[in-house]
Chain A
Amino acid sequence: MKLITAIIKPFKLDEVREALSEMGVQGITVTEVKGFGRQKGHTELYRGAEYVVDFLPKTKIEAAVDDAIVDRAIEAIESAARTGKIGDGKIFVYDLQQVVRIRTGETGNDAL
């Protein structure tokens, strides 16, 4: 089992969710986050005051998937979240040791 964490542009969330649903991912967790990468920030101007905003709003998606579909899931996120412009985000993949569905007590692949 793998845990996929993807940082994407917020407006790409719906496309990514649809792509993951279509290829069989049962659930994802979404968090609004801030951060910076090569895209850097931008400046905001309020009357006379100029502020450099370093941290841009991004969306973090977490999905636990079976080893069998992890590559297709990564591909789905990649193609759905890509705009080709700087700031499209990153995908991180971790080994996942255990999953438990709290309601039933199922574990491992059954809990995914």
Chain B
Amino acid sequence: MKNVFKQMLVAGALLASVGMTSFAFADDAPAKPEAAAASVATAASATATAAVVTPIPAPDVAVASLPAATADAAAASAPAVVANKGDTAWMLVSTLLVILMTIPGLALFYGGLVRSKNMLSILMQVFMIFAVIIVLWCIYGYSLAFTEGNSVIGGFDRVFLKGIWDPVKGSFATAATFSKGVVIPEFVYVAFQATFAAITCGLIIGAFAERAKFSAVLAFVVLWFTFSYLPIAHMVWFWTGPDGIKDAASAAAELVKGGFLQQKGALDFAGGTVVHINAAVAGLVGAIMIGKRVGYGRESMAPHSLTMTMIGASLLWVGWFGFNAGSALEAGDIAALAFVNTLLATAAAAVSWVFGEWMSKGKPSMLGGASGAVAGLVAITPACGFVGPMGALVIGLLVGVICLWGVNGLKRMIGADDSLDVFGVHGVGGIFGALATGVFAAPALGGQGIMDYVANKMSADPYVIFDQVKVQAIAVGTTIIWSAVVSVIAYKLVDLVIGLRVPEDEEREGLDITSHGESAYHS
């Protein structure tokens, strides 16, 4: 075990020094755009070498396509777009809200659901995954997800976050939003997206709670983040922004620079595919490959504190406004719409889950209320900026009962020990939400339709629900397959090197004492 950590440290130091070298080279090296277009398979493995051999300059986002000389001239004639302070403030608050969702929100929601002997292992896994992913995000994650590369993965322009602060010009780079002429500081965008990556990786651990080895969890998450989260985030969300779109020709030119699913026209406002389906599939694969908990189905594995779970679910609900309304990237109409939709769909789903449970099982439960709310939050995530409030209401009402089935009938059908129902809630709710987005985004159903950035208003073309649902299905299918394949390989690798689960006696004693040497409660 010690050797593994030693190797990881050495590799990390090596990577860091390589990054610094490329940063130093960046100013005088010629542009090599084709270097960024390396195939996915080699892109990640070539991280270290590519940066040395073909250092990629760090272009200012606003003038990325212009040669240096004309860029200066342009900057002199047209004043650069400045970020609005209100937008910046809102995005900083949104970022904090997503952090609140993860630690403590998700940690407590999950923690309350396990037995008291495993409470700290859950809190610890979520907490440390958050920390590790934030570090990786700033080293290479942001660059691979949100810079121009090919349609599957980004490039290395922003490795180590280089180029956002330009010491020569003395200025900070900005990031595009969904409105022409509206930007936010790129550092805010980096931080906001960092929290998304972190919570997505944290979500996974609920599926194999109470039995996974801590070192294995961290190793898996690093692999999965690199080879599944980053490509899916790039495929769904990366585009060059609306400012370069002037006419049909430039619209087409800009479109092909975007991610694969962005080009297809998939709608995912805040992360139904990227976050929820992606994480849920990784979780389900993990639950199957790690195997069931000792005593599963025979011994009581009742939640040790639904009080904690209720607090966690409530923090998730509150934090989710940053997640969803923040995904508008500015403080305006769409943020307000996403806010209302997040409020309404969540409430509707809590109501429908609890009443469904009351009717089918006899009693309305607190856990049902909390689970329903989370299911509603998951389902409205991809839809919140595209659908109208009544669309959100229908999505919420439906997802409550669909996910109730997800953790009952479907769970029995799958037969895996998905400890905290990550797939039943996030997977099922995410898939339903992604498909429903295609339906309720239709203007005929009160939705926003599709934005036409050439005319800079909503598209005049008729919105065909069936076609959009088809595109949504492609996005869902791509995410499921991609995440599943990466997960199987990553779990297998970790199993070979570290081993995925703790020995049976440690599992029986509880992970708090055996993995972390401490107890959550003293009586």
Contacts and interface: CB of A to CB of B under 8 A. Distances in A.
Contacts of A94: none
A58 B208 CA distance: 34
A46 B411 contact: no
B421 A47 contact: yes
Contacts of A53: 300
A48 B300 CA distance: 13
A48 B407 contact: yes
A49 B301 CA distance: 9
A45 B365 contact: yes
A110 interface: no
Nearest to A53: B300
B2 interface: no
Contacts of A47: 367-368, 371, 407-408, 421, 424
B303 A46 contact: yes
A51 interface: yes
> Mostly helix, strand, loop or mixed at chain A's interface?
strand
Interface string B412-427: 1000000001001000
A71 interface: no
Instruction: Name the interface size band of chain B.
Output: 10 to 19
A95 interface: no
> Mostly helix, strand, loop or mixed at chain B's interface?
loop
A45 B408 contact: no
A18 to B, nearest CB: 27
Nearest to A52: B300
Contacts of B367: 46-47
B419 to A, nearest CB: 10
B363 A45 contact: yes
Nearest to A50: B361
Interface in B382-426: 407-408, 411-412, 421, 424
Interface in B283-326: 300-303
Interface residues of A, number: 8
B412 to A, nearest CB: 7
Interface in A20-63: 44-49, 51, 53
B412 A48 contact: yes
Contacts of B408: 47-48
Contacts of B411: 48
Contact of A51 (B300, B361, B365, B368): B300
A45 B300 contact: no
A45 B361 contact: yes
A46 B411 CA distance: 13
Nearest to A54: B300
Max chain B C-beta neighbours (<10 A), residue from A44, A47, A48, A49:
A47
Q: Which 9 A-B pairs have the closest CB atoms?
A: A48-B408, A47-B407, A51-B300, A48-B407, A48-B411, A51-B302, A46-B367, A46-B302, A46-B303
Interface of B: 300-303, 361, 363, 365, 367-368, 371, 407-408, 411-412, 421, 424
20 contacts: A45-B361, A45-B363, A46-B302, A46-B365, A46-B367, A47-B367, A47-B368, A47-B407, A47-B408, A47-B421, A47-B424, A48-B407, A48-B408, A48-B411, A48-B421, A48-B424, A49-B301, A51-B300, A51-B301, A53-B300
Interface of A: 44-49, 51, 53
Given A49-B301, A49-B302, A51-B301, 17 more contacts: A44-B302, A45-B361, A45-B363, A45-B365, A46-B303, A46-B367, A47-B367, A47-B368, A47-B371, A47-B407, A47-B421, A47-B424, A48-B408, A48-B411, A48-B421, A48-B424, A51-B300
